[in-house]
Amino acid sequence: MMEGSRPGEGQNRITAKIRVCLMALAIIVSLMTAGAPAFAGTDDGSTPRDLVVNYETNGGSTVAPQFVLPGNRILFQFMPVKMCYSFEGWYYDSALTQSYKASDPIVKSLTLYAKWKASSSDAQCTFPTLTSTIGTVSAGGTDNETITVESGVTLAELKAAIKPAANATFEIYQADGITKAAKLETGMKIIVTPQAGTTKVTYTITVSSPNLALNRPATVDSTCTTSQNAAKAVDDSATNDSKWCSKSGKSWLQIDLGSVKQVNQFIIKHAAEGGETASYNTRAYHIQVSNDGKNWATVVKVTNNTKGLTTDNIAAVAARYIKLNVTKPTQTTNLAARIYELQVFGPPNLALNKPATADSTCIASQTAVKAVDGNVINDSKWCSKSSNRWLQIDLGFVKQVDQFVIKHAAEGGETASYNTKAYQILVSTDGVKWKSVVSVTDNTSSITVDKITAVPARYIKLNVTTPTQTKNAAARIYDFEVYGPLE
């Protein structure tokens, strides 16, 4: 025993030191249990509660996954680099709408997406853009852009309409970005290449073809529940049980397109498209069309369908009302018809919103453009009282045309006695030399459909020779539509 020491004093000192060490160890364990954030590559697999944060750099340099315990933050993140771009942060979603902040706790495994801003500080970082006289071109200044064109535009027409930036070249490819396109379709790529440098710009093509039934008034025989109504079949959604359902045994769905349209395709999304079993897909149905909601013509008849999505193409017909009759609702004995979506499409109206001129107007608002706006309500018409009544449309470039649809006075709600009695239609490729392709002398109908053998034309001219069924001298044209053969 050391001099001056009391019995057991040395042992007490050792015990105290052990206690201090144990307390320090407890604090360290407590901190580890609380979840001090881990760095990339430090997870040895012994903490199964670790969450994984992956990084999608969107063309930038690779960033390795990182691991963190639930509720903790990432203490350090690598910043990716990308030639000709400056990094603008991480985002929770691929659309780059929800930004991630370094102070955000991590509560689940996720992927963060990099956002970039184009930099043009030197010649090699200048983006080769394009302009087009056809369609709508985005102008975001990135290497991924978009162009939207109307259905009916051909590949050759789009190529002729595109002008790349100075000294740049372009080519249109299939969706793979490698195979040259032979026909214009949604998803194809226009790749613009600069004369110098390596930066290319890709424009993704969307060919728009409007769903004529979208959000149009719809009626049905019955519903399974109050929420599964007719409107759900025309809302462009197949999620969250957005469907029309009927158990009546005589199930039908009717849509009012608002006015007579040219229609040539019907797309139906059945049960499986909404996430239900394929055994509930409609087995048999037929589709009817009508101009007045009373006289119907059957244009589609299907007896043995099993698919979740059906596409029925027909020769173009005029119709305002579309009726789907479900004759066998499922593949089983289940009696409920389930339609998640009924879409109606038509051939492209080549004259829609195209430049139009006329000899004169009755009043300032009844101009030529009202005859090509696709509308027949609120007095949307061209009117002329002159002795030389004509309406001319410029399609923009030469197209093949084979059908003309005219909506006369009664289609706009006026008396049928004001329907055009006699008219001629002429076509021209240059606006100078004209060829007469339609001559009508005794019309009484409110809608006329004139079909011809396909001819090339850029300019279409309607000459009204006898404007009404009476002595009234005003020509009234609510809509003048022009169609061409499908490719």
Instruction: Count other Cβ atoms within 10 Å, centred on residue 50.
Output: 20
Q: Looking at the domain covering 356-483, what would its CATH class be?
A: mainly beta
* Residue 46 predicted with pLDDT over 50: no
pLDDT of residue 2: 43
pLDDT reading at 11 higher than 70: no
For the chain, what are the domain ranges? 51-118, 123-208, 218-345, 356-483
CA distance 199 to 40: 32
Classify domain 218-345 by CATH architecture.
Sandwich (2.60)
Six token digits for residue 43: 């997870």
Q: pLDDT band for position 165 (50/70/90)?
A: confident
In the predicted structure, residue 396 carries a pLDDT above the cut 80 = yes
At 32, the pLDDT band (50, 70, 90 cuts) reads: very low
Strands 110-118 and 51-56: parallel
Q: Which CATH architecture has domain 51-118?
A: Sandwich (2.60)
Residue of 208 and 154 predicted with greater confidence: 154
Task: Name the CATH code of domain 123-208 (choices 1.10.357, 2.60.40, 2.40.128, 1.10.10).
Answer: 2.60.40
Q: Tokens representing 455?
A: 């001819």
What is the pLDDT of the chain when averaged over all its residues?
86
Q: Do domains 51-118 and 123-208 have the same CATH topology?
A: yes
Percent of the chain exceeding pLDDT 70 equals 85
| Residue pair 218/233 in contact by the 8 Å Cβ criterion | yes
Distance CA 444, CA 425 (A): 17
The tens digit of pLDDT for each residue in 287-308 reads 999 999 999 999 999 999 999 9
Six-digit token string for 391:
């309406």
Cα(446)–Cα(419) distance, rounded to whole angstroms? Answer: 6
